[in-house]
Amino acid sequence: MNILERAALTALHRMDPEKAHGLSLSALCSGLVPLPGPVTSPRLATSVAGLLLPNPVGLAAGYDKNAVALPALMRAGFGFIEVGAATPRPQPGNPQPRLFRLTEDRAAINRFGFNNDGAATICARLAMRPRGPVPVGLNLGANKDSTDRAADFGAVLAACGPHVDFATVNVSSPNTERLRDLQGRQALTALLSGVMEVRATLSLSVPVFLKIAPDLSDADLAEIAEVAMESGIAGIVATNTTLSREGLQSAHAGEAGGLSGAPLFQRSTRVLARLSHLTEGRLPLIGVGGISSAEEAYAKVRAGASAVQLYTAMVYEGVGLAARIARDLDRLLEQDGFGNVSEAVGTGRSDWLSG
């Protein structure tokens, strides 16, 4: 991290977290943040569900909820970007304060509640984004007051599908009441069938992923893996934030919401490895949760991830973290004799299954 980035982070950490989040997006949009441009190499370039990625290090949904900073983020070193979540209608989300830094734990707790500008506005911004080598996807959400939340996911895909490279069905946010109930076999089967029907009706070719929670039993994961493989979706994103508070040191540990960051790494990676075992390589997996270094990104890959995403670590390491992880991952792959990151996927899965 350079001196300018460190000074900027110090200033942001003196502000309310949500205000700092907004200011970081404004700084990106203004062009004040130096950006490295695409980071790639023969070892890093890979394909996931038909998406050609310059590198496997992506930006998770939640940072640029409303797709306001895409031109800058596409030059920040990420291999792919996910914006949203978008809901059919705009909604303000939960009352503030709703975002908390847990500095001692290198973590964050949020209870945003799918605050966003709505599908129509977000889709308009996606339609105007620059096209380039970095795929851009949209996290699909449901309105809190919807009478048919399952239908909301299809509605957002219908509106925005022509303007994105992939879409993610998000049934795993803990901040919309009873949303996680949609992870059950019957509800999930119906939901994914509806989304895939919309995709087929509109002749969309975008891969559809499913994002799941880390707080699932082995039996739950087995059901989800089975439904996912039967549904025709492209892959699974593992995982969203956790409701667990185990081992936290921060004074904010008791705040309601989803926990992300370093404490999630072990839990989310075990879920990832279990899914890799259950799907036997038939579905690409994207590993998310607690990544702040190339070593942790590499661990996710070896546990079964074809690509990874990060977000919370940027609160502590800056937006330049993506490029640093990608470059260091390249060196780790070379050190272990891999010609491409795809060769390393799942090579360390057994370590997480036995742990």
CA distance 80 to 237: 14
Q: How many CA atoms lie within 13 A of 316 on its CB side?
A: 19
Amino acid at 24: S
> Which residue segment(s) compose the domain that 314 sits in?
3-353
CA distance 253 to 250: 5
Q: What is the pLDDT of residue 1?
A: 75
Q: What is the pLDDT of residue 310?
A: 98
Catalytic residue among 24, 173, 250, 268: 173
For the chain, what is the HEC assignment? Answer: CCHHHHHHHHHHCCCCHHHHHHHHHHHHHHCCCCCCCCCCCCCCCEEECCEEECCCEEECCCCCCCCCCHHHHCCCCCCEEEEEEECCCCECCCCCCCEEEEHHHCEEEECCCCCECCHHHHHHHHHHCCCCCCCEEEEECCCCCCCCHHHHHHHHHHHHHHHCCEEEEECCCCCCCCHHHHHCHHHHHHHHHHHHHHHHHCCCCCCEEEEECCCCCHHHHHHHHHHHHHHCCCEEEECCCECCCCCCCCCCCCCCCEEEEHHHHHHHHHHHHHHHHHHCCCCCEEEECCCCCHHHHHHHHHHCCCEEEECCHHHHHCCCHHHHHHHHHHHHHHHCCCCCHHHHCCCCHHHHHCC
- What's the domain count of the chain? 1
CATH of the domain at 339: 3.20.20.70
223-236, pLDDT tens digit by residue?
A: 999 999 999 999 99
193-203, pLDDT tens digit by residue?
A: 999 999 999 99
Which residues of the chain register pLDDT less than 50?
none
Q: What is the pLDDT of residue 5?
A: 84
Q: Does the reported pTM lie above 0.75?
A: yes
Q: What is the pLDDT of residue 182?
A: 77
CA distance 193 to 198: 9
CA–chain centroid gap for 202, Å, is 25
Q: What is the pLDDT of residue 180?
A: 67
For the question of residue 173 being annotated catalytic, the response is yes
Q: What is the pLDDT of residue 20?
A: 97
